[in-house]
Homo-oligomer: A and B are copies of this chain.
């Protein structure tokens, strides 16, 4: 998606440890019109997959996921990271390692909102090592839902998550794949 690549180049900030900050439009401040365009692009990529539900994970996946849901006309379910007193007791649980926060945590989805009839599009803002995605796929597997697609905004192609998921046969598409971000210069993969 050319506009996303352009936004990353213009507004992204590279930090130590291969961290790309896109806080001005995706992760802290949100550009609603642009996120809707990303939702339209995800619909273009996955519209023939019979998607019944979009699955994502709090926090940063929610805004893109709900914009895509508005185009797909299906509900979103987002996995929750912390054990709230309010959450149902009857939940699917997945395990995630956060590299940016350097800790493991559990994610949960109430069994009410995910079932074996669901044909899922899993959406997230970033894909790097794929740890959060692994937690989501694990939960989808626990309820025998079918994962029809994985839609990512920004994939760090120099980390191994995307490569492994594609080799496992997942229908993974990313709106922008960064192959290199050394010395402050971002190189995108040709599509």
Contact = CB atoms under 8 A, between A and B. Distances in A.
Interface string A147-181: 00000000000000000000000000000000000
Residue from A19, A28, A77, A102 with most neighbouring chain B CB atoms (10 Å): A28
A14 B86 CA distance: 11
A36 B77 contact: no
A69 B30 contact: yes
A92 interface: no
Q: Is the interface of A mostly helix, strand, loop or mixed?
A: mixed
Interface in A129-147: none
A69 B25 CA distance: 13
A36 B66 CA distance: 10
A75 B113 contact: no
A110 B29 CA distance: 9
Contact of A15 (B58, B80, B86): B86
Interface residues of A, number: 43
B66 A30 contact: yes
A120 B30 CA distance: 15
B77 A28 contact: yes
Contacts of A123: none
A101 interface: yes
Contacts of A31: 75
A110 to B, nearest CB: 6
29 contacts: A23-B88, A23-B110, A24-B112, A28-B77, A28-B78, A28-B80, A28-B110, A29-B77, A29-B113, A30-B62, A30-B75, A30-B76, A30-B78, A31-B75, A32-B66, A32-B70, A32-B73, A32-B75, A33-B70, A35-B66, A58-B58, A58-B59, A62-B63, A63-B63, A66-B67, A84-B100, A84-B101, A85-B101, A85-B102
